[in-house]
Amino acid sequence: MSLDERLATGLEQMGLALSVEQRERLLAYIALLQKWNKVYNLTAVRETENMLYQHLLDSLAVLPYVGAGRLLDVGSGAGLPGIPLAIAQPELQITLLDSNHKKTTFLRQACIELELSKVAVECVRVDTYAPQQLFDAVISRAFSDLSEFVRLSARLCRSGGTLLAMKGVYPHDELAQLPGEYHQVEVVSLNVPGLEAQRHLVIIRV
């Protein structure tokens, strides 16, 4: 089975309908990631097939919960989940935030080559980031524990918006340590084809 066929099958299993062009862009992103990874060490995942499941499909599993408007990807790293989300939902206005210069150099080049005109890249620490406009949602993938994520990111999200934290196993201990003012918290189990490990998304209303 080709990589595109694996991607199409995975998307179908997740109930996501993407066009041929979108699938091609997702695979082009993986190719870019592999090319730059040799020099910049963007990700520990090396195999193309593993990137497909651990990066692309893992990122796209949160798509139904992202909503519309402005999204901030905190600690974006190699562009995960922001770039796959931008390809899958092109009307989203996404800002990729990372303090690592090598990674943001890659992100800017990837946005140019993938023609992601609604994606901005910021090379700055999240605790000093001062956007002109607040975001409808802020997402992170393996950025920090929940309390730290909320402490750093809640101020960047508009009132009534959502904080989205991508996690592996159900984060019992991290949830117990959340600040008391965050009562509207939902945890959903994510189905990621090709992954044996658990995946969860913590949704916090602000």
pLDDT digits (tens, 9 = 90+) for 52-76: 999 999 999 999 999 999 999 999 9
Q: What is the pLDDT of residue 48?
A: 77
Return the residue matching tokens 């023609």.
115
Residue 154 per-residue DSSP state: G
According to the annotation, is 80 in a ligand binding site? yes
Q: Give ∠ CA 64-197-81 in degrees, rounded to 5.
A: 40
Query: Which has the minimum average pLDDT: 27-41, 54-68, 92-106?
Result: 27-41
Percent of the chain, pLDDT > 90? 84
Q: What is the pTM of this model?
A: 0.95
> How far apart are the C-alpha atoms of 11 and 110, rounded to whole Å?
22
Q: What is the pLDDT of residue 118?
A: 97
Going by C-alpha positions, the residue among 163, 167, 201 that lies closest to residue 62 is 201
Q: What is the pLDDT of residue 143?
A: 82
pLDDT tier at 170, thresholds 50, 70, 90:
very high
146-153 own/partner pairs: CB under 8 Å, 24+ apart? 146/171, 146/174, 146/175, 146/177, 146/178, 146/202, 146/204, 147/174, 147/177, 147/178, 147/179, 149/74, 150/178, 150/179, 150/182, 150/204, 151/179, 152/74, 152/126, 152/127, 153/72, 153/74, 153/126
The domain defined by 3-205 folds into Rossmann fold (3.40.50)
Domain regions of the chain by residue span:
3-205
pLDDT tens-place string over residues 119-136: 999 999 999 999 999 999
Is pLDDT above 90 for 44? no
CB-based contacts of 179: which residues, under 8 Å, 6+ apart?
147, 150, 151
Q: What is the pLDDT of residue 42?
A: 72
By DSSP bridging, strand 119-123 and strand 135-141 are unpaired
